[in-house]
Structure formats: C-alpha cells, structure tokens
Amino acid sequence: MAIADSIQERVKRLPRKRQQEVLDFVDILLSKGAEVENRKDELRLAHALLAAEMARLDDEEVEQGISYSLREIKARYR
C-alpha cells in the first residue's frame, strides 16, 4: 500500500474536526516547502547581483581594500 493510500485510510477514520487539522497541517508543510524554494531563488539572485557588482569594482577600490557595509549594500539595491 502506498503512503498516500495509508494516510487516506487513516484520515477517513478520524472525526471531521481532526480531518481538518490534518489538512491544515499538510498545507503548512506545503507552504514551508514553497518558502524554502523561494528563499533559494532569492539567494541565487543575490549571489548573481553580488558577482556582477564585484566585477564592476574598479581596480583601485580592490587594491585599497575598500569594503562596504551590509547597510550600504542594502541601501544601494532597495
């Protein structure tokens, strides 16, 4: 028996209120998965933007070791 079938059989035996709780819990699990994927996409984009900005730094800034605070970087890209 597949896991989904086993879950379905067990949920059928629960009172309606408990069935709704199971459904709510499944929705929470699904939304967490979507949040993780969205966060991964945001991190990939941030990495690409940072790489592009680092490529634009002029040699003088690199040689002088000029660095920017996180606050400065966030302010620039808002």
User: Domain coordinates of the chain in residue numbers?
Assistant: 15-76
What is the model's pTM? 0.47
pLDDT tens digit sequence for 16-75: 999 999 999 999 888 887 787 878 888 888 888 877 777 776 666 666 776 777 787 777
Inter-residue contact 11 to 22 (CB < 8 Å): yes
Q: Which of 36, 15, 11, 33 is nearest to 23 (CA)?
A: 11
